[in-house]
């Protein structure tokens, strides 16, 4: 009799453990999807901010009398980065929207991570090169009007913001990859 009761209790505990593991996995998946969705919303905000900055760039440039040869290349570069960011948005939306296997989610996240590494490297390169080119092209204008400090301040601010954004992006991507790795390890255990 005791053996029969122990078998029943054992099977009951085994079922509870299975349900608990299923619930824990579901919670881990939901947490990953929420974090990825939050990151996607952040990316949309950055995209819209970039487009909102374009009229501001042109208006400030025209108001200050900056040459069109300086304003329009800057607008072109902002549009190029917006196009690349749109592709990053597409890749991240595929990660968030993937309802397939965990392997497929990991593959999409790996593609997104690789693209973001390239994108962030290009961002640093352009943030360093763009102000340098602008200073060289408009050096006469800025020195004649005593505004060299605006260019120097803009370059410094751009570098600080660029490195801050890169740090933020890298941390968010690392967190998503860590959560995905934890989910995979839980599944494999």
Q: What is the mean pLDDT of the chain?
A: 80
At 142 the pLDDT is 66
Note the pLDDT tens digit of each residue in 5-64.
877 878 877 777 777 777 777 888 888 888 888 888 888 888 888 788 788 878 877 887
Q: Tokens for 68, please give them.
A: 């069109």
Higher pLDDT, 131 or 176: 176
- Among the listed residues 21, 42, 15, the one whose alpha carbon sits nearest the alpha carbon of residue 183: 21
Residue 171 Cα distances to 35, 46, 81, 175, angstroms: 12, 16, 21, 6
Angle of helix 68-97 versus helix 2-64 axis, rounded to 10 = 170
Higher pLDDT, 74 or 171: 171
Highest mean pLDDT among 109-123, 124-138, 154-168: 109-123
Higher pLDDT, 90 or 19: 90
d(CA 112, CA 36): 12
For the cut 80, the answer to whether the pLDDT of residue 166 exceeds it is yes
């Amino acid at each position: 009799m005791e053996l029969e009761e122990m078998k029943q209790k054992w099977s009951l505990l085994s079922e509870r453990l299975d349900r608990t593991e299923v619930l824990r996995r579901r919670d881990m998946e939901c947490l990953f999807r929420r974090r990825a969705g939050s990151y996607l919303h952040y990316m949309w905000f950055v995209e819209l901010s970039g487009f909102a900055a374009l009229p501001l760039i042109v208006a400030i440039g025209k108001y200050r009398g900056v040459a069109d040869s300086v304003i329009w290349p800057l607008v072109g570069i902002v549009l190029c980065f917006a196009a690349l960011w749109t592709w990053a948005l597409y890749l991240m939306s595929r990660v968030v929207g993937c309802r397939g296997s965990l392997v497929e989610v990991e593959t999409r996240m790996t593609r997104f991570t690789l693209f973001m590494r390239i994108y962030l490297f290009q961002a640093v390169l352009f943030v360093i090169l763009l102000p340098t080119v602008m200073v060289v092209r408009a050096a006469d204008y800025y020195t004649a009007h005593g505004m060299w400090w605006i260019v120097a301040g803009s370059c410094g601010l751009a570098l600080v913001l660029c490195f801050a954004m890169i740090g933020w992006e890298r941390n968010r991507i690392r967190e998503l990859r860590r959560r995905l790795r934890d989910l995979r390890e839980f599944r494999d255990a």
